[in-house]
Chains A and B, each alone.
Chain A
C-alpha cells in the first residue's frame, strides 16, 4: 500500500507539473472561447466583432434582379421591392448588371410551373455565398402561387403549431429547446474525449518507462499490481482535475453569458447526473487505462503503440456512431445493450442519463459489470509485466495481446 502511494505521488507530481499539462489545461478552454467568439461573430451576413470584420469584410449588398418569363409573379411581397427588382426581359437585367445596379438576377423560364427550374446568374459565381439570399425569391414565388388564399398559404408555410403531451411517466427530451437538445451530444463527446485523453496519458507513461528501461529496475522492488494501481489512480486524478477545471470554466462562461442568452437559464445539471458522471468516468477510465497499459507493456516503442491503440479504442467509438439513436430512444434496445456492455457502457450510460430516467436495476448492473471488468483487467494486465515480455521487443499484434490478457505467454 505504501509503495502504491509512492508511485501515485510521483506519477501525479510528474504529470501535473509538466508544462504541457498546464498548457492544455489553460489553452484548450481559451482557444475554444476565442474560436467560438470569432466564428460566432462571422457566421452571419454582418460580422459583429472587430476580428470578424478583418477576416471577412462585409460585402456591399446590392439588390437582385428578377426576370419573369412565366407570368407567375403578379405582385411583390411588401417590403421586398427594394431587394428584388423586376425587369421585363433578360436584356434589361443584363444592362442593369453592367451598370452596377444589381449584381445578380434570376430567370423564371416560361415552363417554370412544370419544371421548377430557376436560373440564377451571378457575376462572381459563388454558389454557397449566393444561396442565402434566394430565400426572398422563394417567399415571393410561394406568395404568388397561392395569391388568392393567404390563409391557406400561411398553413402551408407552417402546417402546425404543435403542442406535445407525453402520457408515460418518463420525462422525454424537449426538442424545442436547442440546449436541452444538445445536452446528450455534448455529454457523449465530452466523456469520449476525457476517457480517451486520460487513458492515453497512461499509455504514454508506461511506454516511456519501458523505452528507457526504468521499468525493469522498478519491477525488482515493487509488484506490477502496486505499480499499475498507483499509476491508474494518479493519472485518473489528473484527468479528473483537468475535467473539473474545464467544466468549471465552461460553467463560468455560461453563468456570465446567461444574461445575454436567456435560453441558458433553463439549462441545469442535476447533482445526481454529476455523481453518476463521476462514477462512470472513474470506472470507464480504469478499464481503458488498464487496456492501454496492457498495450504499453507489449509494444516495443511509442510509434507502434499508437497503431495498437486504435484497435483498443474501437469500442469507445461505437457509441458515437449511435449517438442519434441514444438521444432519440434513450430506453430503446440498442441503448440498453450498449449501456450494459462494459466497454461501451460509460459513454452510453451518460448519454442515456442526460436524456431520460434510467431504471435503477440497469444502472446497478452496468456499474457492477464495469467494476468487475476493471478489476479483472487490472489483474490480467499486471500479469503482463514480466521480465521476458518487457525485454522481448516482440512486435505487437492482436493475438499476442489477447493471449497475454488470458495469462498465456
Chain B
C-alpha cells in the first residue's frame, strides 16, 4: 500500500506542480473569454447605427411610429426617416447620412413589394429592423395583447405526462450540460490517457524498469500509475467545473430569468458521476494496457488514437441522438461501454430512460472497467521487461 502511495505521489506531483499544467488549465477559460470577446466585437463591427430612409407610396405608413430605442442596448434599434421626394433621399444616401433606402410599392398590401437601395451592403440589422418597423405599424391600433402575441410569439413549456420534468425557453441551456460534460470528459481522458501512455512506456525507454521491479511489484506500480495520472486529469476537470459553476452562478445572479435548475436534478448528477467514473477508469486502464504492449512512445500514441475514436462517435451523431433519443442508434450507443459515457447523460436529459437500462449500462461499465484493469496489469507484467518487440495479442490472451 505504501508503495502504491509513493508511485501515486510521484506521478501526480510531477505533472500537477509544473508550470505547463497550470498554463494548460488556465488557457481553456482564457480561450473561451477571448472567443466570446471576439464574437462580440465581430457582431458590433457588423452593426451600423445610422438611420435608414423610406419612401411610402402605399399610404399605409403616413403616421409611422419609430421602433422603441433602449438606450443601453448593445445594438440599439435603427431609426427610419420618411422621405417624400426620391431625389432628396438619393442625395442623403450618397452623402451617407442614411445607410439604406426602402421604397414601399403602392400595391404593398397585396404583394408585399419593397425595394431596398444601398451603396454596398448595409449594416447587419437594418433589414430585420425594417421588417419589425413595418409589422409594428401595420398592427398599430390593434389590441396590444394580440400585437404582442403576433410579434413575440408564444413560449412552449414542454412537460412529460407524469409531470415531473419540464423544459421551456428559460432553461433550454440545460441541454448543453450533457454536451459540455461529455467534452470535458473527453478532455480529461485525453490528458490522463496521454500521460498514462507516456508513464508506462517511459521507464521502459530509459531502462529504469529493471531497478524499479526489484523493490515494487508490477501490480503496485501499475495501480499507483493509473491512480496518479487519473487524478491529474480529474484535477484539471474539477478546476474547470468549479470555475464554470461559479461563472454560471454569477450569470444567473445578473440575469435571474435564466434557470438551469429543473433538469439538473440530484438524480441526474449521480447518473453522470455513475457513468463517468467507471468509464474513466476503463479507458485509462485500456490506455495503460496499450502502453504496456508497445515499446516506444510514438507507437503508443498511434494505437491510442484508435481507442479515442469510438468515444468521439456519439458527438458525430449528436443531431440524430438528440432528435430521436429513443431511436435504435441512441439505444445501441448508450449500451456500448466506450460510447455510453457521452450518450447516456445526453439521452437522460432529453427523455425518460427506464431504470433497468440505466442499471444495465452502469453495471456493464463497471464490469468492463474491472476487466480492463485486470487486462492492463497482465499486459504490464508480461511486457514489462521486453524491448524492441511488441507483445502480441496471442501472448496476451494465452497462458503465461
Chain A contacts to B: CB under 8 angstroms: 35, 39, 42-43, 54-57, 59, 97, 112-114, 116-132, 134, 138, 141-142, 145-146, 151-152, 154-156, 158-168, 170, 172-173, 302-303, 307, 321-322, 324-325, 328-329, 331-332, 334
Contacts and interface: CB of A to CB of B under 8 A. Distances in A.
Given A159-B135, A324-B46, A329-B46, A125 B115 contact: no
A170 B120 CA distance: 7
Contacts of A145: 146, 149-150
25 contacts: A55-B317, A55-B328, A56-B329, A112-B154, A117-B157, A121-B161, A122-B158, A125-B351, A126-B326, A130-B158, A141-B149, A156-B135, A156-B139, A162-B114, A162-B115, A165-B116, A165-B118, A166-B118, A166-B120, A166-B121, A167-B117, A321-B39, A321-B42, A324-B43, A329-B46
Nearest to A173: B121
B350 A160 contact: no
B122 to A, nearest CB: 9
B109 interface: yes
Given A117-B157, A156-B139, A128 B323 contact: yes
A161 B105 CA distance: 10
Interface in B3-28: 20
Contact of B320 (A42, A113, A165, A168): A42
B127 interface: yes
A124 B119 contact: no
Contacts of A302: 298
A324 B42 contact: yes
A154 B167 CA distance: 31
Interface string B161-176: 1000101000010010
A59 B324 contact: yes
B139 A57 contact: no
A44 to B, nearest CB: 10
A302 B112 CA distance: 63
B110 interface: yes
Given A141-B149, A162-B115, 15 more contacts: A55-B329, A116-B155, A120-B158, A121-B159, A121-B161, A122-B161, A126-B326, A128-B350, A129-B325, A159-B134, A163-B116, A166-B120, A172-B121, A321-B35, A324-B43
B354 to A, nearest CB: 12
User: Max chain A CB contacts within 10 Å: which of B42, B119, B156, B320?
Assistant: B156
Contacts of A162: 114-116, 127
Interface string B186-200: 000000000000100
Interface in B126-151: 127, 130-131, 134-135, 138-139, 145-146, 148-150
B352 interface: yes
B327 A116 contact: no
B249 interface: no
Nearest to A328: B46
Contacts of A112: 149, 154
A39 B321 CA distance: 12
B167 A328 contact: no
B157 A120 contact: yes
B38 interface: yes
B155 A161 contact: no
Nearest to A39: B319
Given A113-B149, A130-B158, A328-B124, A56 B113 contact: no
A320 B320 CA distance: 28
A116 B131 contact: no
Please name the 10 residue pairs, one residue from A and one from B, whose CB atoms are nearest each other, closest first. A160-B114, A321-B38, A159-B131, A125-B160, A116-B154, A129-B323, A159-B134, A113-B145, A161-B112, A168-B119
B153 interface: yes
A161 B45 contact: no
Contacts of B382: none
Contacts of A325: 42, 45-46
